[in-house]
Amino acid sequence: MRSRSPWGGPATRGIASTARSRWRARRATRGRRRARSPGSRRRVPRRPVRGSSVRRRLTRPGPAVRSGSATTRPTTPPRRSRCFRRAITVTAARDYTPEQVAAWAPDDIDPDAWAARRAAARTRVAVRDGAVVGFTDVDAGGYVDMLFVDPGAARQGVARALLDWAVRTAAADGATELTTHASVTARPFFEAHGFEVVAEQHPVRRGVTLTNYRMRRPL
């Protein structure tokens, strides 16, 4: 028995011819797709996960530690005061009043006194394109006096790299814990890195009362 085509009888041959051509073209296309090897497909390169390469670089030992495009290293004291003021007047301003900010980071910081204080501390800085974007210090007992990051470099791994340096340095000195007096702004960062609040404090600067937290982290 003669099989019927899927396009009907003689009355629809004109339409059937066009439909048959389309059907054959679709089959040919599907055949070419099946014959194509998986390796011939165009592969779109995966985008790197943000921060993954930064975390790998933070674990490398050496005199300089990179975080994103910033490098941590020793530097001259006067270059850090601008980073200090910007971290307070911009970043910390959301947690402190204008009066408190002005008392904490006044416009008339004595550059010589600042340089002397920083020179006396064992300080590490993060530098990007020749500019200081963050700094910290730690003494032999594990006390971190300052850890500040410029707002333009916030949430880019700079503070993490600086804290990692402080941890390694204090541990090498034989310290059993890190301690610090963290601001309201910095408290969540330190808590996220293993610190706990020991006490709430209210220091007075230039006659203005501020709030900070004495915190510790065992090593």
Which domains are delineated in the chain?
Answer: 52-57+64-175 (3.40.630.30)
Amino acid code (one letter) for 159: A
pLDDT > 90 in the chain, percent:
53
The residue with greater pLDDT, 137 or 22, is 137
| pTM passes above 0.75 | no
The Cα diameter of the chain in Å comes to 108
pLDDT tens across 104-154, in order? Answer: 999 988 888 888 888 888 899 999 988 889 999 999 999 999 999 999 999
Beta carbons of 101 and 93 less than 8 angstroms apart: yes
pLDDT tens across 25-37, in order? Answer: 666 666 655 555 4
Question: What is the pLDDT confidence band of residue 168, given thresholds at 50, 70 and 90?
Answer: very high
pLDDT of residue 165: 96
Is the predicted pLDDT of residue 91 greater than 80, yes or no? yes
Per-residue HEC secondary structure of 100-133 comes to HHHHHCCCCCCHHHHHHHHHHCCEEEEEECCEEE
DSSP state of 9: S
Is the predicted pLDDT of residue 16 greater than 80, yes or no? no
